[in-house]
Amino acid sequence: MMWYEIFKFEIKYRAKRVETYLYFVLLFLSALGAFDGIMQGQDIGMDKENAPYVVAKIMAIMSGGF
C-alpha cells in the first residue's frame, strides 16, 4: 500500500502547482496546432482524420522528427 500513499501525495502536490496547469495548456495547444497543421492546407483524400498515417504524422510533428 506504500505506492498508494506516494501516488496520493504526488497528485495532491502537483494539483497545487501552477506549473502543472501551465504545462498542460502548452501541450494541449501544441497538440491542437499539430493537428490543425496536418488537416489544413493538405488534401488527404479518402484518409480519415484518425487514420494511422495521419496519426503518425501528428506524432512526428509533436516529437520534432519531421
Highest mean pLDDT pick, 10-14, 27-31, 32-36, 56-60: 10-14
pTM metric for this prediction: 0.52
Instruction: Tell me the percentage of the chain whose pLDDT exceeds 90.
Output: 36
Residue 34: predicted pLDDT: 65
pLDDT for residue 9 is more than 60: yes
Q: 30: closest CA among 62, 66, 60, 63? A: 62
Higher pLDDT, 64 or 14: 14
| Residue 34 and residue 58 in contact, taking contact as beta carbons nearer than 8 Å | yes
| Residue 38 and residue 54 in contact, taking contact as beta carbons nearer than 8 Å | yes
